[in-house]
Amino acid sequence: MRLDKYVAGAAQQSRSDVRRAIQKGLVCVNGAVCRSADAQVPAGAAVTLNGQPLVLQQYVYIMLDKPKGVVSAAADKNDVTVVDLVGRAYPRRSLFPAGRLDKTSTGFVLLTDDGGFAHDILAPKRHVSKTYTVVIDTPLTEEMRRGFAEGVTLADGTALSPAEVEALTPDGLTVKVRLRQGVYHQIKRMFGVYGAGVNALHRDAIGGLALDPALAPGQWRELSAEEVSKISS
């Protein structure tokens, strides 16, 4: 790979800015200043910019705590999107949300530029679970629990896969739901079958990876390789 392309990708800077840095002698390869933008970067080479080591990642995986009112999309003409919250840090990457949360919902949204990974974890046959804390306006009943476990049939006749629901509070109004499929407004529609409304919905986990409690709404961080592997576990 050309040096200017490597540095631009690793530092998330424009090619023109990178070429100027190279010409000024600010880029080193294996400890030696390199002033040739088209020089090839050897595999495993140590590249630095202004003395700071650079690592070119093929893909990025980002955990975002989505706030209420933000839409799960890469772009939107009217609303702030999840990509808007992080995109300025990755101007040279085409990020998108792997899955979605409703505008009024909050919690874990995964952002990435790895289309293959997103396809794999969203594929119905993979059954990657998603876990939610849900506040409902009617106490959880045994009928709801049994219906979720057997697979709810929605009002339009759509038959859903089995899901799990359990009460988190004594009054049965705050519950945990775990799904292994994704249907538009699924949780709201599932509770609607039993005459219950959803007042709040927060995604706590995707697969085996829980939302980092240190993240405030709107905050985000990159995931480690180990954390990424937990998503599909």
Give the closest residue to 177 by CA, choosing from 155, 214, 218, 144: 144
Distance from the Cα of residue 150 to its chain's centroid: 29
C-alpha torsion 155→160→164→168, nearest 10? -30
- Per the CB < 8 A criterion, the answer to whether 206 and 66 are in contact is no
Q: Which amino acid is at 192?
A: G
What tokens does 137 get?
A: 């306006």
CB–CB of 122/98 below 8 Å?
Answer: yes
Question: Does 102 qualify as catalytic in the annotation?
Answer: yes
User: Angle 3-11/15-23 helices, nearest 10 degrees?
Assistant: 120
Name, in order, each residue with C-beta under 8 angstroms of 63's C-beta and a sequence gap of 6 or more. 108, 109, 110, 209, 211, 212, 215, 220, 221, 222, 223, 227
Number of C-beta neighbours around residue 122 at 10 A: 15
**4, 38, 65, 102: which one is catalytic?**
102
Indicate the residue type of 191.
Answer: F
198 DSSP β-pair partners: 136
> What are residue 187's phi and psi, to 5 degrees?
-65, -40
Q: Which residues are catalytic?
A: 102
